Amino acid sequence: MLVIKKQRSKTAWVVGGAVVAAMLAGAYYASQTYSPKAPPTPAHVEAYAKMLDNEPPAAAPSSSGSHEIERPADIDPKQWQQLVDSLRNHPQRDQELKRLVGYLRFKRDMDKWNELKDQPNALERAQVGQRILDALPVRFANQEVTGPEALMLQSAIYADMIPDAAQRKPMEEAARQALLRALEPDAAMDAKLKAEDAQTAEYKAREAVIMKRFKDQLIDQGQMEKELDAARVAAYK
């Protein structure tokens, strides 16, 4: 049984479990049609995690007025704008945008994997399934999927790729251990989370002053937004 031992920063926006549960329902009943001529690509968890959560490829600048935020080339403009708008006043806006872009890519792979059920291209389905497996430790560590959800998804994908139970058992166990390692006590992560909490407290203090000035009609909305952006930069420098 997997138990989450470390907590994300209290400012984190956790994606609803209902979305994940809906995706997993389809995955659980996926057919076992993998061709032995199409071996899965090797797992590269760290590389895939970097692709998911590091700076995404930039496209056109956002129209939100925040010139430092750019839309990733593979994210729909309307979907991106919704994310930007929903996180406009989030103290860790840029970090959360990166995380959510990673989650959207993960969900897109899930949707693609389900779409490829019963399709002739077994190799493509296996490759998409492998990307999902590689991403799971990151998404699990971010608490975007639960332990039981991650294990069920691993089981469904491995059963799809490797029909022989004896062959897939050691791979499933290795994948389970990767999930456990994602939650091992990490002194550097603990220090990072404490630093983030301190930065958030500093931002909230600055924000309170700015919002009071706005409420007292000492500044207009445009000035308030500029000062909030400046406060965010100062707090999270």
Q: Which pair of tokens denotes residue 232?
A: 């965010």
Q: What is the pLDDT along the chain (237 residues), one digit of tens a residue?
A: 443 333 443 333 333 444 444 444 444 333 333 333 333 333 333 444 444 444 444 444 444 444 457 889 999 999 899 998 898 888 888 888 989 999 999 999 999 999 998 888 889 999 999 999 999 988 988 888 888 888 889 989 999 999 898 998 999 898 888 877 776 666 666 677 688 788 888 888 999 999 999 999 999 999 998 999 898 888 877
Which residue spans within 51-193 are E strands per DSSP? Answer: 58-61, 70-72
> Which positions ≥6 away from 192 have C-beta within 8 Å?
none
Q: Residue 61 pairs with which residues in a beta bridge?
A: 70
Q: Residue 70 pairs with which residues in a beta bridge?
A: 61
Distance CA 58, CA 51 (A): 13
The pTM (predicted TM-score) of the whole model is 0.56
Amino acid at 76: D
Distance CA 181, CA 189 (A): 13
